[in-house]
Structure 1
């Protein structure tokens, strides 16, 4: 993770330099703002990866003598099949359609989003996946 953190931090420095150059030369606010926001996103990801790298074991990508097989194995726990993302996607699509067609669609999308979010957060507290 140290390598990825450094890469994103250097990328953020590059994007910041390009944002300043673009802002001075073009005097166009939309593109300049987008580049500064991209800088913010890059620095957040880089800081997170560098911060996390200090708290986890050294991975194969941080060892210059490592083989590809050294990084094999279990990557973590991933949730089994879940219907909650579908509910969130439909609710989100309705919410964005509410911006276009009328705010009254929010009355239908907000409950779908809340049900999907609640179900996704608490899906391991009930049913066959309940933690004992």
Structure 2
């Protein structure tokens, strides 16, 4: 891969992240939660292993939210009319984000409660 193409691919990726942060309410919520977690982790001085778990969890939530957005936009592009399969695709993708977000909250509680207790 040529250097220019590689740089262009990074540019497109950053544009995708920026789009999600600007236009998706749930992504903005995840970003705010990320700031809170990073500040709390710094404040209570979580261990290196806890940082790794927190960062992987944050990355997972952000990634799933962006995949959800991509899927929703693709479905909207394919059909403007309501279709049961389109609804299932959108609902399943949103459900995946919800499941991982609930796990992320549980992970956060397991890590932070002992420090705050």
Please give the TM-score of this superposition, normalised by the length of structure 1.
Answer: 0.35
Specify which structure has the bigger relative contact order, considering alpha-carbon pairs within 8 angstroms and separated by 6 or more residues. Answer: 2
Q: Select the structure of larger CA radius of gyration.
A: 1
Higher helix share: 2
